[in-house]
Each structure stands twice: as C-alpha cells, then as structure tokens.
Amino acid sequence: MPTDDPAFHERLERFLATQLRADRVRIVTLSRSTEGFSQETFSFDVEVTHGATATTQGYVAKREPVAGLLEPYDLEPEFRVLHALSDHPFPSPPTPWFTRDPAVLDRPFYVMQRLAGEVPILAPSADGSGPFTDGERTTLGPAIVRALADLHAVDWRGAGLEFLGAPGPGRAAATRELARWETRLAQSGLPADPAITAAVLWLRAHIPSCDETTLVHGDYRLGNFLVDRDGTRAALTGVLDWEMVHLGDPLEDLAWCASPLWRAGTEYASALLPPDDLTAAYAAASGRTVDPDRMRFYEVLTLVKMIAIMQTGIRAFNDGRTSDLRMAIFDHQLPFLLLVLAMTLDFFGGGAA
C-alpha cells in the first residue's frame, strides 16, 4: 500500500518541498480514503520547514486510478476548474498543484488543501431518519441551495474555463449530455436492458432547450458535501468530487441533487429538503424559473447516467482491471436501479411515447 511505502512518502515530500519552496517537508500522517468509488484519494499532514520556522498543513491528493467508474480518466480539466475557483468564495477546496510526471506518484494527480468537516454517509441513521437532525437540515439545506446558485453564477469565461467547451444555445447542452452517456453505455459492452432502451428513446424525443450556459458540477449531491457539525447545526465547508464538471444547463445539477438516488432513506432531496422546497429555494436564490419539462428530462437522464456509471464499474471488474469488490456489487444493485428507471418512465407518460 502506498501509505506504508517509504518511497511513496519520499517522492511526495520532494514534490511538495519544490512546490512550497520549503527547506524541508516531512509527511506526519498519510491515509488513503476508502469512501470514493472513482479516483484514489490520500489525506495527509505535512510539517513544512522554512529556515527555523516549522508549520503543519493538511492536504488531500487525488490520483488517477488504474480503472474506475468514469474511465478514461483525465484529471487535468477538473484540476483547472478547482484551481480557477481557489480564490472564489464558492466553497471548493483551494487546489494549487497538478502533475502528470510519473516519477512523482506513478500516475497523474493533483493536491488540494484539506478543509474542515466530514462527508456525511449516504445512508439512513439507525432510526431511519437520515444522516441529519432537524436542526442540521434547517441550516444546511438552505446553504446547499445557496451554494448551488452561487456555482451557477460563476463567470466561467472570466475564470478562463472556456476550455470545457460551451455547448451553445438551444438543445445543444442536453443533446451533448445525452450523447455522452449513450456513449458510455455502449462502451460498457453490457446488454441494453429494455428500460434503458426505452429511457434513451424517451430522452431523444424530449430534448429540452436552454439558452443559458453555466458551470455544472455534474455530481452535486449528498456524499459530495463536506459538512462541519456542532451537534445541533451544520455548515457547508466544501463541495467535493468534480470529475464530471462541465458547461451546460444548470438544471442538470438541480435534478441530480433532488434525485431519489441520494435521499438516504428519507423523503428529502439529498436528505435535506423536500424536493419541491429544494426547487423553490433554488429558483428564489438563483432568480431562475425552474422549467418542469427540463427538470423532467434531467431526472430521467440522472438515472441513465448512474446506470452507465455502474455498468462501467461492472465491466472494469469483469475485465480484471480492478479488484474493488464494490464494483462487483453494482451487478446486484443494477436491477433495482433499472426498476426505478422503469417506474420513472411510466410516471412521465410511458417511455418514448
């Protein structure tokens, strides 16, 4: 394991010493996170020495995996977004460094400053009430909504994020996202379930128009919120996991956040707010009208995206490119997700009809 490998420590220390222009950098603690399904994540504390002064700083490194849910990987775009937002008031972790140099940690990686807080587990509590108390939901729910509105207000041109590729007005944003996930479904090589076929046909027939382009996180939901709690109230300290960041329709993020996938056994969007309240609060915070037809499209696309992600993981495990048993478990979770998709299509009027 890299966390026990002295050479891993030494290479990372040399890299950090160069970036920090320090006389010496010593790793004090280093651990690998096991929560994420995508990139390899390492959290570490370092003692940084400049002359006679030593300080301790906390960082998180994200390294490209050998195989994962969102392959093929390229960490540079998300690094560039996080780096551009490092001085922005939006609660993303300041992200100063990225390298492709294999001499450092074998594969590309970037480094973020570690923020305070924890990521609440995407699971119901013992009494079935969800991961948050009523008091925590009262403070955290509105903060999540405000942060999403702030994200969509980012001047992405001024921040130099044109490299993400603006989709253009009209149906371009939705068309591009549907094509992206259709391609991933095909690349998984797994047979197309009738529910997936029906969903794709429905989506093709209901592509919405949007004349506004914003920065889209792509995975804005419970599980990617860094939260600081004091027992009665909760504060949002960071938004994590930017692998799917792109330019597009802001309602894609809203529908993803509100999806039944992230409710942790509760009736609340991301275990925080009733879905209708989330939508109304976002409309008020952003000044946007939340078009129900666009939301409906992205609600269906959310499920198709998650199925494509699961199938990518299943294929990686079946091919022997990863030994992560969590990828194998997707094979047992997929039937439930297909059922949810079929029920969602029926609720919206019968597939592509």
pLDDT tens, residue by residue, 244-294: 999 999 999 999 999 999 999 999 999 999 999 999 999 999 999 999 999
State residue 347's pLDDT score.
56
pLDDT tens, residue by residue, 309-339: 999 888 888 877 777 777 778 888 899 999 9
What is the band of 352 on the pLDDT scale with cuts at 50, 70, 90? very low
The full set of domain ranges for the chain reads: 2-113, 134-347
Instruction: Compute the residue count for the chain.
Output: 353
Provide the whole-model pTM: 0.94
Which comes out higher in pLDDT, residue 5 or 260? Answer: 260
Are the beta carbons of 27 and 45 closer than 8 angstroms? yes
State residue 232's pLDDT score.
81
**pLDDT score of 32 more than 50:** yes
Which comes out higher in pLDDT, residue 349 or 116? Answer: 116
Amino acid at 42: F
Helix/strand/coil for 116: coil
Cβ burial, residue 297 (10 Å; 0-12/13-18/19+): buried
- Calculate ∠ Cα 137-138-139, nearest 5°: 90
> How far, rounded to the nearest angstrom, does the alpha carbon of residue 343 sit from its chain's CA centroid?
25
Phi, psi of 98 (to 5 degrees): -145, 145
Phi, psi of 52 (to 5 degrees): -95, 0
Least confident segment among 85-94, 173-182, 214-223, 327-336: 327-336
What is the band of 185 on the pLDDT scale with cuts at 50, 70, 90? very high
Task: Determine the average pLDDT of the residues in 191-209.
Answer: 94
Are the beta carbons of 34 and 121 closer than 8 angstroms? no
**pLDDT score of 34 more than 80:** no
Mean of pLDDT over the chain: 92
At the fourth CATH level, the homologous superfamily of domain 134-347 is Aminoglycoside phosphotransferase (APH), C-terminal lobe (3.90.1200.10)
Least confident segment among 123-137, 144-158, 198-212: 123-137
State residue 282's pLDDT score.
98
Distance of alpha carbon 261 from alpha carbon 302, whole angstroms: 9
pLDDT tens, residue by residue, 115-136: 999 999 888 887 878 899 999 9
What is the band of 184 on the pLDDT scale with cuts at 50, 70, 90? very high
State residue 328's pLDDT score.
77
Amino acid at 335: P
Distance of alpha carbon 268 from alpha carbon 279, whole angstroms: 12
State residue 102's pLDDT score.
95
pLDDT tens, residue by residue, 70-100: 777 899 999 999 999 999 999 999 999 999 9
Mark out the alpha helices in 290-349 (DSSP H runs).
Answer: 292-318, 325-347
Non-local (6+) Cβ contacts of 175 within 8 A are 167, 207
Tokens representing residue 268 in the block: 């609340």
CATH, domain range 2-113 = 3.30.200.20
